[in-house]
Structure 1
Amino acid sequence: MGFMTSHTLTVGFDLDMTLIDSRPGIKAAFLALSAETGTFVDADLAITRLGPPLEQELRHWFPEDEIQDTADRYREIYVTHAIEPSLAMAGAADAVAAVRAHGGRAIVVTAKYEPNAKLHLTHLGIEADAVIGSLWAEAKAEALREYGAAVYVGDHTGDVRGARTAGALSVAVATGPCDAAELRAAGADVVLAGLDEFPAWLDAYAAGGAGS
């Protein structure tokens, strides 16, 4: 493991709005949750601020003493309503393939509940070498350090903070709720318009001595 960590390029990817466009699925899950609980949730608003943990969003709509039970129920509903409608982001499969083409490992580090994250990837045919869920912002550094990730790719300022905390290069894609200026201001080392630009960037990065 130590040898692998030090000599194999490992790239981490966020999930929501980085590798997958989960907005259609998350909207469907929130609408189902709202119908079941009788509590209004503005699903169209909720999907504009993806990234942080589910509980953070639920606090906008539910009292604190209901958050944990509601989160558990949402994660159950999610399996039925959210996997099928969610799509891969443009360039997602090619970005993961680019890491493999350089002999590297691609891992997914996400705030999403891990079993549901895995369901998304399986459904879309995106194969990661590891999937680590329930980590947000600075906490993502735990998994990035454990797997020796040199690069972390995400769409949110929280992903930038996670990469920086881990000492990894922060590559940001402006495909989520944070625009390029916000991502740069948060300290992203590289800002791409989307994952379509990632393979060419990775080629240049690797040529500059990715393994050193």
Structure 2
Amino acid sequence: MSGAVGFDLDMTLIDSRPGIRAAYQALTAQTGVHVDADLAVSRLGPPLRREIGEWFPADQVEEAVTTYRKLYAEFAIEPSVPMPGAREALDAVRALGLRVVIVTSKLGRLAHLHLDHLGLVADEVAGDLFASAKGSAILQHGVRWFVGDHEGDMVAARTAGVPGIGVATGPCTTDELKAAGAAYVLPDLTGFPALLREIAVGS
């Protein structure tokens, strides 16, 4: 079987909330600008600039983004952990002869740090993309199904014309993922291998 399965990263394959919380706390300590880290990690998915813009004046956003990304490698990688079923999900993809493609709003180099730290292997990583912008990477890398936890991921799948598989492990509910166009919705990744075998055989 040829092609690939695409995955979002944060709250799909990895629980990055502990590390991102620590990075935001470090950003507050360094800049003196309060960021409610708990609130920020409750709505992961959209681009970093959107979240930073909730806390910093517009003319300070770019500088704050640069500072945050410098802090990220120090504070955010070590505490992050795989989501339940993540390793088995990637194994299931490869068992069918398919490639693993990560398409994330996180910068590619930061995504690679997470994957390397956790021993999660991807064939391709496309970073700094969100919602419809992910669609071009999905098409470019031959992704046949795209898995994500956010409404924006289902928009990405629709944009690319591939089925979206929602996992209700992030900020979006099952109903929200369905409303955004998910072809399938799972509570988490533990049910993904069985679903993939079922839909791959029928494709």
For normalisation by structure 1, the TM-score amounts to: 0.94
Letter in 1 for 2:158: R
Letter in 2 for 1:91: G
In 2: Cα distance, 1:55 partner to 1:27 partner? 16
Are 1:160 and 1:183, in contact at CA under 8 Å, matched by a contact in 2?
A: yes
Give the match for residue 3 of structure 1. Answer: none
In 2: Cα distance, 1:42 partner to 1:111 partner? 21
Give the match for residue 207 of structure 1. Answer: 201
Give the match for residue 60 of structure 2. Answer: 66
Give the match for residue 54 of structure 1. Answer: 48
In 1: Cα distance, 2:57 partner to 2:192 partner? 41
Give the match for residue 13 of structure 1. Answer: 7
Deviations 1:178-204 (A, max 9, x none): 010110111100001111000000110
In 1: Cα distance, 2:58 partner to 2:160 partner? 31
Letter in 1 for 2:31: T
Which of the numbers 61, 76, 101 marks the counterpart of 2:70?
Answer: 76
Deviations 1:78-133 (A, max 9, x none): 00000000000000011011000000001000000111110000000000001110
Letter in 1 for 2:151: T
Letter in 2 for 1:65: D
Pairs aligned (count): 203
Give the match for residue 133 of structure 1. Answer: 127
When the two chains are superposed, the root-mean-square deviation of aligned CA atoms in Å is: 0.7
Which of the numbers 89, 102, 106 marks the counterpart of 1:112?
Answer: 106
Which of the numbers 168, 179, 183 marks the counterpart of 2:173?
Answer: 179
Letter in 2 for 1:61: W
The offset of 1:9, in angstroms, is: 2.6
What are structure 2's unaligned runs of at least 5 residues?
Answer: none
The offset of 1:207, in angstroms, is: 1.4
Letter in 1 for 2:176: E
Deviations 1:6-58 (A, max 9, x none): x6131000000000000000000000000000000000000000000000000
Which of the numbers 37, 40, 44 marks the counterpart of 1:43?
Answer: 37
Give the match for residue 198 of structure 1. Answer: 192
Are 1:11 and 1:149, in contact at CA under 8 Å, matched by a contact in 2?
A: yes
The offset of 1:148, in angstroms, is: 1.3
Letter in 2 for 1:22: S
